[in-house]
Amino acid sequence: MSSIYDFTVKDRKGNNVSLNDYKGKVLLIVNTATGCGFTPHYDPLEAMYEELNEKGFEILDFPCNQFANQAPGTEDEIHEFCKMKFGTKFPQFSKIDVNGDNAEPLFSYLASEKPFEGFGKGLKNVALEKFTNANNKKFGDKAYIKWNFTKFLIDREGKVISRFEPTVDMAEVKAAVEAQL
């Protein structure tokens, strides 16, 4: 696979969606969870979407329950929660695995293009790294994503530009998106 446009994913209703449909747009692809300490990321994500969508920006939201069972609902329950609590309007796709033998191929590809480089410095980041290492041990070399709200920035040509761990300040994520627009 040479770009993300070669992938087909499932929308939250189970229909196939070719990522080629997003060709020419700047994308932020995110694995999410509704019961995570990072769930408040939905607020700045939605604000960014509202502000930048007309300039050719899309957020692709993929719920995942692999991290301490923090996205336990159905696709419809997750969608309603996000809509009611955070007013999200960006596309939400089918709940997926991002690690292990059943990992969504798109996320395996994204992580191979931009591997994990750490959560950064600070006590909270070190604690998160220890917790994620214990959680992801069961996936071995297929622990592609370390935690919820890992974000991948894709340029208009389908190239993976950046990976943002959930510990990265959302202002930094927004600045990187704006630079691509």
Query: Is 82 noted as a catalytic residue in this protein?
Result: no
Q: In 3-state terms, the chain is what percent helix, strand and coil (to 5)?
A: 40, 20, 40
Of these residues, 29, 30, 33, 36, which one is catalytic?
36
| CB 170 within 8 Å of CB 161 | no
Q: With left for phi above 0 and alpha for psi between -120 and 50, is residue 67 left, alpha or beta?
A: beta
Helix H or strand E encompassing 152? strand 151-154
C-alpha 166/C-alpha 151 separation (Å) is: 7
Active site residues: 36
